[in-house]
Chains A and B, each alone.
Chain A
């Protein structure tokens, strides 16, 4: 498909800018001006609409395809949340209004949403306070680890290390490193959970804390979590809960009760805000009383007169982690979603997420290796080792599924499982959808025996087949206008439209 720049025709117009009604034309001295206009496209509105509509048809999404992408919780995004986020009182509200003198009165509805969200998330997760500022899960992790650092600094603790299980999301070690810590990786045992002997061996007074997901990334709930928390606390380490897998345990247990001191959650996972092709997300961070005074400012408070206000008066706060109050429009969607579900609906979400995953496991475990043959939580991790021995790898099965109109599960993660295929069906999918998926997986297994070679040409039904990633990294054509100036420009063949 052509790039929008290749559809551009000099002089063509689209959106009409209103004629000025102020009757003056202001000029800036030439030395402050750019030499040439920015090389943006010149196309009509119809061309823009067709271009993006055609692009949109080249995407799989939840609304068109089963999307069991493990660890990402691709649940259905109810349409009404788009509607409430678009209310003008919310969408057109300037963020600096409550920073004006008595300005809190100008944003009472929005501040109430943030205040109520904090209360609700505290109850769901068993924490004492929340900040809504972090703009994504990984951003929440950084906020949490910075608060841990502030805690240790205030106590005069000399801490150097953060412990991370080998099955952790990559963001955990990356975050701890960026916050100034060294990483110690703790291996899992043969049951898929943390090896307590290894944990003990690596504990020392220099350990600042442990970052862990529970259920972990192989979809298993670690029952030893109380003991792990005790061990970490015994060296005045802090327990960080990565809330990526919270969708498995709503109403069944709470990080706060399990002994965690600080956690983030991903509203785009558990609370169904749209993933947006890779964000925006939102990553609120909860803490217990130990860390409360380090929370970022501003905080939303309810004054005695019932008015919601921003409060900056927390001398021990780590400061601002984002410019404003978080990704408000997403927090609003999550708030609306939680209100619809209510207590019972949240519990049902986890019940069905876990039932669906276990059903898939039961039906697939004969044909695919199961690294840990035990009840799983909201996702199941299989291994394609048996198929790989026939020359069909996890990635090949993923590409096969694309041709069957299914978005592939996560592959090659977690790193602790060879040829991992990580399937997270979510609670929204029906038995019929799961049965169709099971049939496809079994068919893939069969085909891996009868015709393993055939996999290498998948996918065949998409506008493009497998991209040359080596070439992408070698040529680094990341900007149309740079490409024009490089010699490789002419070699690119136009995509054949379908």
Chain B
């Protein structure tokens, strides 16, 4: 039975008679008998209480009790209660795309503020109202760079998330796009290697900061070299780190994307997350996705609307800048709530606390025989360590001690089987970090 149906038997009869049908089956007359389902073998419905209990049991089979030192692009940050409470307002989550701006000013203004904060954080001039996630945002940035330059060659730094690089190859397999990977040197972008690849057929260079190994870099030199050849620079960034780090805008990036999960979204086993995208004002018409702009109504009152819709699929169809329709509006609003609540000082302090805790952890790990911390440039809240054993095996042994100890680089980088990346967020206490180091010592040396 469907508990969310309103009409009673007598109402159904009245409605059928208004329609001129004898039964509901009559309304499906266009579906011919031969077109009926060959099978529709599904369980009978359950009560809410039973379903909640079933999912509670499934939930208990997941190991969310592990102490997380694993990152890899997805971080265990604290979500303030006010963010959770506000985003739970049905006025935000049960509305749809603001097609009618007069009765959607709440969502529209929230998105305008989100765009502004993303611009402030990245040092860019314009941002869209979101893309699905960090990986798909990077794909959209690549397509945008190809549209702008009319070129079809992309250089990817080896420090860009290997997950993202795999996605890019998937999307472009049917398109005539050439991808070149520039291997990293000592955990950071190899200037000579990238310089060799820059040519006048290249549309864009993709860089990530901090990169997948956790390394912080100033890519301004690479960017200015690229610009000399008319090549755009796409920067993939970690928004919490940006509270402290030199912005991609300051370095000269043309398109900035990133994974916004850290901005107040739960880990949720992979989604929904938030892809953000920002660029220079001159490229706004080439940017995909919804964009909210401020304007005025007839009485001169400030209001907000979706703008430049002529770029989008519902108007432009096969000539659209992207096929994106639904984005992740609610996640963008949630991220905006998070940035607003933490504010100018708070986000900086949060970033500093991540930095300090990671540094403390790094210092403890360095003292363990068999552990070498690999680092040339500074790191933020994640860093790479070399172990005297296979990292996958070490991580598996650490699970028995209650830790998700890191992510093994061998999974995506051949020859790096003894390396792992370790993430330390503000949620890790001194006690947890010390116990982690002690446990790792036991696993490696006993």
Q: Mark B289-333, 1 if CB is under 8 A from A, else 0.
A: 011111111111111110110001111111110111111111101
A55 interface hit (Cβ, 8 Å):
yes
B376 interface hit (Cβ, 8 Å):
no
Q: How far does the Cβ of A17 sit from chain B's closest Cβ, in whole Å?
A: 4
B178 interface hit (Cβ, 8 Å):
no
Task: Tell me which residues across on chain A come within 8 A of B170, comparing CB atoms.
Answer: 146, 296, 318-321
B344 A135 Cβ-Cβ under 8 A = no
Q: Mark A271-309, 1 if CB is under 8 A from B, else 0.
A: 000111111111000000000000010000000000000
Q: How far does the Cβ of B25 sit from chain A's closest Cβ, in whole Å?
A: 9
B196 interface hit (Cβ, 8 Å):
no
The 5 closest A-B pairs by CB, nearest first: A342-B45, A324-B270, A276-B330, A89-B59, A319-B170
Q: Among B74, B169, B318, which residue has its beta carbon within 8 angstroms of that of A95? A: B74
A359 B18 Cβ-Cβ under 8 A = yes
Cα A38 to Cα B192 in complex, Å, equals: 32
Task: Tell me which residues across on chain B come within 8 A of A253, comparing CB atoms.
Answer: 31, 35-37
- Give 25 pairs: A residue, B residue, CB < 8 Å, sorted on A: A15-B80, A15-B82, A15-B346, A42-B343, A49-B86, A78-B48, A97-B63, A126-B39, A138-B324, A170-B316, A171-B313, A177-B318, A275-B95, A275-B326, A277-B98, A278-B129, A339-B43, A339-B54, A343-B41, A427-B4, A464-B303, A466-B297, A468-B295, A471-B295, A472-B305
Q: Mark A462-498, 1 if CB is under 8 A from B, else 0.
A: 1111111101110111111111000000001111100
A225 interface hit (Cβ, 8 Å):
yes
Q: Mark A141-171, 1 if CB is under 8 A from B, else 0.
A: 1100010011001000000000000000111
Q: How far does the Cβ of B371 sit from chain A's closest Cβ, in whole Å?
A: 18
Q: A94-B74, A177-B319, A468-B295 are in contact. Are A56 and B269 (CB under 8 A)?
A: no
Q: A52-B86, A478-B127 are in contact. Are A495 and B302 (CB under 8 A)?
A: yes
Task: Tell me which residues across on chain A come within 8 A of B167, comparing CB atoms.
Answer: 319-323
A24 B359 Cβ-Cβ under 8 A = yes
Task: Tell me which residues across on chain A come within 8 A of B217, comparing CB atoms.
Answer: 32
A139 interface hit (Cβ, 8 Å):
yes
Q: Among B55, B63, B269, B305, which residue has its beta carbon within 8 angstroms of that of A336? A: B55
Q: Mark B90-129, 1 if CB is under 8 A from A, else 0.
A: 1111111111111111110110110111011101011101
Q: How far does the Cβ of A87 sit from chain B's closest Cβ, in whole Å?
A: 4
Q: How far does the Cβ of A260 sit from chain B's closest Cβ, in whole Å?
A: 12
A141 B395 Cβ-Cβ under 8 A = no
B341 A48 Cβ-Cβ under 8 A = yes
Task: Tell me which residues across on chain B come within 8 A of A1, comparing CB atoms.
Answer: 105, 109, 302
Cα A144 to Cα B6 in complex, Å, equals: 36
A37 B293 Cβ-Cβ under 8 A = no
B37 A328 Cβ-Cβ under 8 A = no
Besides A402-B103, A475-B295, 12 other CB < 8 A contacts? A3-B109, A40-B120, A59-B91, A80-B52, A149-B174, A321-B170, A323-B136, A344-B1, A399-B102, A431-B7, A493-B296, A495-B301
B183 interface hit (Cβ, 8 Å):
no
Q: How far does the Cβ of A209 sit from chain B's closest Cβ, in whole Å?
A: 13
Nearest to B412 among chain A residues (CB) is: A99
Task: Tell me which residues across on chain A come within 8 A of B266, comparing CB atoms.
Answer: 91-92, 329
A100 B298 Cβ-Cβ under 8 A = no
Interface size on A, residues (CB 8 A): 214
Cα A91 to Cα B269 in complex, Å, equals: 7
Q: A467-B303, A472-B305 are in contact. Are A482 and B326 (CB under 8 A)?
A: no
Q: Among B48, B98, B120, which residue has its beta carbon within 8 angstroms of that of A278? A: B98
A90 interface hit (Cβ, 8 Å):
yes
Q: Among the listed stretches A60-68, A197-205, A231-239, A442-450, which one makes contact with chain B, having 4 or more residues with CB under 8 Å of it? A: A60-68
B396 interface hit (Cβ, 8 Å):
yes
B242 A135 Cβ-Cβ under 8 A = no
Q: Among B43, B353, B404, which residue has its beta carbon within 8 angstroms of that of A18? A: B353
Interface residues of A in 172-213 (CB under 8 A from B): 173-180, 183
Q: Among B314, B328, B342, which residue has its beta carbon within 8 angstroms of that of A413? A: B314
B43 A13 Cβ-Cβ under 8 A = no
Q: Among A225, A319, A492, which residue has its beta carbon within 8 angstroms of that of B296? A: A492
Interface residues of A in 374-412 (CB under 8 A from B): 375, 377, 398-399, 402, 407-408, 410
Cα A464 to Cα B445 in complex, Å, equals: 68
A136 interface hit (Cβ, 8 Å):
yes
Q: How far does the Cβ of A335 sit from chain B's closest Cβ, in whole Å?
A: 8
B119 A479 Cβ-Cβ under 8 A = yes
A89 B30 Cβ-Cβ under 8 A = no
Cα A469 to Cα B293 in complex, Å, equals: 9
Q: A53-B89, A174-B317, A279-B326 are in contact. Are A342 and B42 (CB under 8 A)?
A: yes
Task: Tell me which residues across on chain B come within 8 A of A356, comparing CB atoms.
Answer: 7, 15
Q: Which of A41, A332, A494 has the most CB of B within 10 A?
A: A41
Task: Tell me which residues across on chain B come within 8 A of A136, comparing CB atoms.
Answer: 132, 324-327
Cα A307 to Cα B333 in complex, Å, equals: 38
A106 B66 Cβ-Cβ under 8 A = yes
Task: Tell me which residues across on chain B come within 8 A of A473, comparing CB atoms.
Answer: 293, 307-308
Q: A359-B15, A478-B284 are in contact. Are A323 and B164 (CB under 8 A)?
A: yes
B126 A482 Cβ-Cβ under 8 A = yes
Task: Tell me which residues across on chain A come within 8 A of B31, comparing CB atoms.
Answer: 221, 223, 249, 252-253
Q: Among A21, A26, A64, which residue has its beta carbon within 8 angstroms of that of B429? A: A21
Q: Among A14, A88, A322, A377, which residue has its beta carbon within 8 angstroms of that of B59? A: A88
A33 B115 Cβ-Cβ under 8 A = no
B245 A32 Cβ-Cβ under 8 A = yes
Q: How far does the Cβ of B109 sit from chain A's closest Cβ, in whole Å?
A: 6
A369 interface hit (Cβ, 8 Å):
no
B433 interface hit (Cβ, 8 Å):
yes
Interface residues of B in 272-293 (CB under 8 A from A): 272-273, 281, 284, 290-293
B73 interface hit (Cβ, 8 Å):
yes
Q: How far does the Cβ of B269 sit from chain A's closest Cβ, in whole Å?
A: 4
Task: Tell me which residues across on chain B come within 8 A of A83, comparing CB atoms.
Answer: 52
Task: Tell me which residues across on chain B come within 8 A of A38, comparing CB atoms.
Answer: 117, 120-121, 242-243, 344, 347-348
Task: Tell me which residues across on chain B come within 8 A of A88, comparing CB atoms.
Answer: 59, 64
Q: How far does the Cβ of A7 sit from chain B's closest Cβ, in whole Å?
A: 10
Task: Tell me which residues across on chain B come within 8 A of A481, comparing CB atoms.
Answer: 116, 119-120
B272 A339 Cβ-Cβ under 8 A = no
B112 A480 Cβ-Cβ under 8 A = yes
Cα A352 to Cα B9 in complex, Å, equals: 12
Q: Which of B72, B96, B395 has the most CB of A within 10 A?
A: B96
A440 interface hit (Cβ, 8 Å):
no
B82 A48 Cβ-Cβ under 8 A = yes
Q: Among A175, A179, A323, A483, which residue has its beta carbon within 8 angstroms of that of B163? A: A323
Q: Among A174, A318, A326, which residue has its beta carbon within 8 angstroms of that of B318? A: A174
A362 B38 Cβ-Cβ under 8 A = no
Q: Mark A341-365, 1 if CB is under 8 A from B, else 0.
A: 1111111110110111011011100
Task: Tell me which residues across on chain A come within 8 A of B120, comparing CB atoms.
Answer: 38-40, 481
B372 interface hit (Cβ, 8 Å):
no
B268 interface hit (Cβ, 8 Å):
yes
B166 A320 Cβ-Cβ under 8 A = yes
Cα A326 to Cα B272 in complex, Å, equals: 8
Q: Among B61, B102, B216, which residue has its beta carbon within 8 angstroms of that of A109? A: B61
Q: A323-B135, A477-B293 are in contact. Are A89 and B48 (CB under 8 A)?
A: no
B62 A90 Cβ-Cβ under 8 A = yes
Cα A28 to Cα B383 in complex, Å, equals: 14
A126 B38 Cβ-Cβ under 8 A = yes
B414 interface hit (Cβ, 8 Å):
no
Q: How far does the Cβ of B244 sit from chain A's closest Cβ, in whole Å?
A: 6
Q: Which of B80, B104, B323, B378 has the most CB of A within 10 A?
A: B323
